Amino acid sequence: MALRIEVAHDIETCRATVPIQEEVWSGDVVVPPQLLLAVTHNGGFVALGHVDGDERPAGFVFGFLGIYDHHFRHHSHMLAVRAPHRRSGLAVALKEAQRDHCLDQGIDTIAWTMDPLEARNARFNFAKLGAFARTYGRDWYGEMPDKLNEGLPSDRLYIEWRIATDHADKRLRGADTVPTLDDAEREGVRYLLRADGDRPSAVGTVEDDSHLLVEIPDDFQLLKARDRGVGLAWRLAVREALEPAFAAGYAIVEHLRSPEHRRGAYLLVRQPRHPSPEETGEVMR
């Protein structure tokens, strides 16, 4: 299947993102094409993805320049692929084009937000791209009326992708073997949260483990459609698990799946702690 990336430089290309936005999210959260065009002419990036045999654009990506912790980085605000073309490799191709744009600007980090309960996005961000997350935001966007987010707090992970690393290169080329969830279980990695049927079990406590597992549903949208109360229970349980873990210095570095792809969990790793100036004796007096 031949894929083609078209970088946007004019209003017509930006306008072509609107039907994709409406199809994936609904008309309630559309970013206007005029704003997209302004972004492209001021350091940002908009690109369409095309698949041979389909006259309509199959996906798009949109991001803009930002400053985080006193450093420039690129914030990727939207990535969408229409349902018939998911698993075609188009999402990776769009991210590669965005990565090339940022590397040409001398930027080494792309960041974005994601719903921590969306397993498909988790697999893409951590396993396919090699990103990580160490920040959790409660109800980040407030109430959202679109079909993917309506009715629940819009909690988000803040994803960071270090694009100028060997790790990112290997993941994009598929040259890095990702362990399975069964591998982690055999190694005795402890669950901070796991499923009990369709519902989350009680959340464990963060102690001094080097690694932790946090299970999420395999298809959250299907589960939420069946029972909105169970969806809310998962939202609150994952929040209760990840917030203290991040505060204790852990980061999500993988989304692991069982070989039969029926279960999935985040793999959290405790990050190295950097000593304070007081501890190193470097405090100026």
What is the bridge-based pairing of β-strands 190-193 and 211-216?
parallel
Tokens of 99: 């990565």
What pairs with residue 111 in β-bridges?
75, 160
pLDDT attached to residue 82 = 96
Residue in the structure block whose two tokens are 């199959």: 58
**How many other CB atoms are found less than 10 A from the CB of residue 222?**
9
> Do 62 and 21 meet the contact criterion of CB atoms below 8 Å apart?
no
User: How would you class 51 by CB atoms within 10 Å of its CB: exposed for 0-12, middle for 13-18, buried for 19 or more?
Assistant: buried
pLDDT attached to residue 262 = 87
pLDDT lower than 50: segments of the chain: 276-277, 280, 283-285
> Do 5 and 97 meet the contact criterion of CB atoms below 8 Å apart?
yes
**Whose CA is closest to 48, among 83, 19, 84, 75?**
19
